[in-house]
Chain A
Amino acid sequence: MTPLLEMRAITKTFPGVKALDRVSLSVREGEIHALVGENGAGKSTLMKVLSGVYPAGSYDGDILYDGRPIAFAGIADSEAKGIIIIHQELALVPLLSIAENLFLGNERAKGGIIDWRDTFRRTEDLLKKVGLSETPATLVDSLGVGKQQLVEIAKALSKDVRLLILDEPTAALSEADSQALLDLLLDLKAHGVTSIIISHKLNEVRRVADTVTVIRDGTTVSTMDARTEDITEARIVRDMVGRDMAHRYPERDRRAGEVILDLRDWNVWHPEHAGRQVIKSANLTVRKGEVVGIAGLMGSGRTELAMSLFGRSYGRNISGEVAIHGRTVDVSTVPKAIAAGLAYVTEDRKSLGLILDETIQRNITLTNLPAVSSNGVITEARETQVAEKYRAAMNIRTPSVFQKVMNLSGGNQQKVVLSKWLFAGPEVLILDEPTRGIDVGAKFEIYGIINGLSAEGKGVIMISSEMPELLGMCDRIYVMNEGALVGELTAAEASQERIMSLIVTD
């Protein structure tokens, strides 16, 4: 039997990074196919290639659908073939009703005038199919994430879906909502809909998947068939993480001194949803010269913890105590947090870390302008000296410090962000995904810089979704799940399996 979908030797490169390297994927009609792998392995990229987000021509390789080669120029083409992708970030318009959202761009209309009767009738049918008991006129805004997910699936059904792709559909859902969603997938399968599901939750994968494909570092590692073999979580985890870790991380003298940062009973509530607690009584310490990791899935609250700590840049009703060198400090605004000795290197360097339209020099000095000025007047010569110093120390590859950061590669941009925060003279640096989206060579350099910070006696908190990186770099690793620090492992105790099991069994 020819498979419904066959992707052959798909290769996709971004400037400086090879995201997919000859990946293959074969999906049979009527099955649920799970795609698993670490963050950054290339799962989402592969699905974007499939759905036409990255149009034909921007990648190499062939896609066969129903045995025929296809080349999509955009999402509209793939949707016309019944391939529908539901992204991790839901794409619903919050202030429109369920019915309006379901038929957005596909309105039930005659001559441009919407037939509301037909729209509502069809909406009711679709909602019944996905088991959602809401009226079609309900605003999407008033639904929880779980129900919104169901609306997305109903929307896919309204387009006569044949192949449904779900990117981490249960990441933001509660246990009960997750179960309901998985039951729905099984129900759709019984009605002949084929699904590809990207998930980190291996128990769920085991529950629904007929076939599991593991992707690692942009290549297909293995494909397992649940009907012919027993797929254990241990086996999936091994395939997901199993790589040679020798020499990927520079050596460091591990010598932790006295406690610098002590965070006690830290609680944070969601800025918009009043009842949702995002960080649940977190306790954390960082010692002098120590690199402390925070592991966890996307959405587990790592970034929220860091940003709430850094001048309450996230959340509200924040409570808890922060001490630096044993003295309680006020970190309620960003300037106060900086003055207390904190620095936060954001995971989103383009929209939160840098001013892309400005020069390297101006980005670096921004955190500490008084140091390059007298009486509020900037001495440009001093500023250039500072920028040149960091250019040399960080090995920022650029023709001059007057280059706009927009023109730098990801790795060099990240070095500018690090320079900027070192110039602020912090005691503790929080690095949020410091190597995201940069190539292997630049990663190694960033690791070297982190080791240098530790040698200087700074405390480093490293948030990362790449577990090998945490294991290779950190002295201690906290594991975070659903807003709580659920475990703490020393470098000796930690392994990817232990971290993963702390997350998935929680």
Chain B
Amino acid sequence: MDLADRGDGTTAGGIGRYLLSHLREYGLLFALIAIMVFFQIVTEGTLLKPVNITNLFLQNSYIIIMALGMLVVIVSGNIDLSVGSVMGFVGALAAVMIVEWGWPVALTIPACLVVGIVIGAAQGYWVAYWKIPSFIVTLAGMLVFRGLSLWLLEGQSVGPFPKSFQLLSTGFVPDIFGIGKPNGTALAAGALAVAAIVWMGLKARARNRQYGIEDEPAAFFVTRNLIVAGALLFVTYKLSTFRGLPNVLISMAVLTIVYAFLTENTTLGRRIYALGGNEKAAKLSGIKTERLTFLAFVNMGMLAALAGLIFAARLNTATPKAGFAVELDVIAAVFIGGASMSGGVGKIVGAVVGAFIMGVMNNGMSIMGIGIDYQQVIKGLVLLAAVFFDVYNKHKQA
């Protein structure tokens, strides 16, 4: 009774079996939809109003951007608790550079990103080359950078920022077609995105058939694509009737695509999954595991810095409280998105959807006027439920 025999069943199996083996991926998508429908109803349509959709993106952009880096860190088998503090610190640094030292925006942004990279490198060095657990190193980093932001701002809020800096977060892409309302760029972008997704899906299916890979049943493929396409068109249409595409949405989308490509299609990404899946085996396969761990933290530092800039630009001020406890939201998003605590498992798209689930819940509950106390409780339970779902699934498959 060879376990490999069980594999035969899946190829021959029907839709039910396919769904069961991919429950996690579909589950996540359906969970997001269900949560949105729920809040759409209980908020009496406020959730999906154009202005609120725009707000959803603006509010969650920095979480999503950091979730991209956090996914890489978690897949590599580590964790970064310092991202909230680093984000706050870099925001504070930007404020001091621009407002107090009078640096131009064009110089401040790259300088802050470099500072983020250096911070990531400093933490990654201890984790990668001295094998100090990342939990400890980044816990230390969390305290250090929280303290440094306080010191930098001397406990005060610093602002406001010049207009050009605020555009990082609150700017909108102008309508290149000159229609105005609805915004033509937004509509065109939505249509293009849908076309690209469907085209890539079809290409993948053709390839799967060619190599005899277990394929998604046609009905599923069509339904899933219809839902995704419908959702995309719906959201871009709604955005177009307000002010169009926020700049931040573009950066988020581009970064998501870049990181999804990096993790899924490059040797670098493959090696990070290998490192997290089994560090010793990866090392014995000739993979420079220390360097990869180091790079994962460098990358995280850079994205935390970017998030810090965007967050400061959105608030138009840097406060000592900025980024407080944000690391927990970021980490929760990644785990809700299906990453494994032990490393080697997780997808960029999952992390982004996880972040949206958290974002929609935050937003919806705030509209409903649920107190911050209950909000925390509910978010905590959702995280536990998502991870329990993973563990339960794995248990049942074993």
Contact = CB atoms under 8 A, between A and B. Distances in A.
Interface residues of B, dominant DSSP? helix
Interface string A363-387: 0001101100100111011001000
A378 B207 contact: no
A16 to B, nearest CB: 6
Given A362-B270, A377-B265, A399 B4 contact: yes
Query: Which of the four size classes fits the interface of chain A?
Result: 35 or more
Interface stretch (B243-251, B281-289, B356-364): B281-289
A116 interface: no
Given A366-B274, A381-B207, A407-B6, A353 B212 contact: no
Given A378-B265, A400-B212, A366 B283 contact: no
A362 B263 CA distance: 14
A338 interface: yes
A398 interface: yes
Contact of A376 (B1, B268, B288, B344): B268
B24 to A, nearest CB: 13
B288 A352 contact: no
B207 A338 contact: no
A402 B213 contact: yes
A45 interface: no
Given A402-B213, A402-B214, A357 B284 contact: no
B345 interface: yes
Given A362-B270, A366-B274, A377-B266, A353 B281 contact: yes
Interface stretch (B7-15, B105-113, B146-154, B319-327): B7-15
Contact of B280 (A338, A351, A370, A397): A351
B371 to A, nearest CB: 41
Interface in B239-275: 265-268, 270-271, 273-274
Given A335-B286, A420-B285, A355 B266 contact: no
Contacts of B277: 355-358
B3 interface: yes
Given A355-B274, A370-B267, A407 B4 contact: yes
Interface string B203-246: 00001000111100000000000000000000000000000000
A398 B4 contact: yes
A335 B11 contact: no
B284 A369 contact: no
A357 B397 CA distance: 13
Nearest to A366: B285
Contacts of A344: 284
A16 B2 contact: yes
A313 B283 contact: yes
A357 B3 CA distance: 14
Nearest to B342: A357
B284 A400 contact: no
B284 A352 contact: yes
Interface in B274-327: 274, 277-278, 280-288
Contact of A384 (B4, B211, B283, B286): B211
Contact of B267 (A334, A346, A376, A409): A376
Contact of A369 (B7, B211, B267): B267
Interface string B92-116: 0000000000000000000000000
B267 A373 contact: yes
A73 interface: no
B10 A399 contact: yes
A209 B281 CA distance: 42
A399 B8 contact: yes
A489 B122 CA distance: 55
B280 A352 contact: yes
Nearest to A404: B7
Nearest to A354: B281
Nearest to B261: A377
Given A334-B283, A355-B282, A366 B270 contact: yes
Nearest to A381: B207
A403 interface: yes
Contacts of A16: 1-2
A423 to B, nearest CB: 10
Nearest to B1: A15
A334 B3 contact: no
A400 B214 CA distance: 8
B281 A398 contact: no
Contacts of B280: 351-352
Given A313-B283, A344-B284, A400-B212, A378 B267 contact: yes
A397 B6 CA distance: 12
B284 A399 contact: no
Contact of A355 (B7, B213, B281, B286): B281
B207 A380 contact: yes
A354 B280 CA distance: 9
A346 B284 contact: yes
Contacts of B287: 334, 366
Contacts of B344: 355, 357-358
Contacts of B345: 357
A412 interface: yes
Interface in B1-46: 1-4, 6-8, 10-11
Contacts of B268: 376
A403 B2 CA distance: 14
B79 to A, nearest CB: 19
Given A15-B2, A366-B282, A399 B270 contact: no
Contacts of A373: 266-267
Contacts of B2: 15-16, 397, 409
A408 interface: yes
A494 to B, nearest CB: 30
A269 B172 CA distance: 64
A310 interface: yes
A58 to B, nearest CB: 15
Interface string A396-420: 0111101100011100100000001
Contact of B274 (A352, A358, A370): A358
Contacts of B7: 398-400, 403, 407
Interface in A463-481: none
Contact of B278 (A355, A377, A380, A424): A355
Contact of B270 (A15, A334, A337, A378): A378
B214 to A, nearest CB: 7
Interface string A325-341: 00000000011011000
Contacts of A398: 4, 7
Most buried by A among B10, B266, B284: B284
A412 B6 CA distance: 14
Contacts of A407: 3-4, 6-7
Contacts of B273: 355, 358, 362
Given A354-B278, A355-B277, A402-B214, A376 B285 contact: no
Nearest to B345: A357
Most buried by B among A310, A355, A402, A424: A355
Given A334-B286, A376-B266, A399-B11, A409 B4 contact: yes
Given A400-B214, A403-B7, A367 B286 contact: yes
8 contacts: A15-B2, A353-B281, A356-B278, A357-B277, A376-B266, A377-B267, A381-B211, A399-B7
Which 4 pairs between the two chains have the least Cβ-Cβ distance? A355-B277, A369-B267, A399-B7, A335-B286
Given A402-B213, A408-B3, 10 more contacts: A313-B283, A355-B282, A358-B273, A366-B285, A369-B271, A373-B266, A376-B266, A400-B7, A400-B214, A402-B214
Interface of B: 1-4, 6-8, 10-11, 207, 211-214, 265-268, 270-271, 273-274, 277-278, 280-288, 344-345
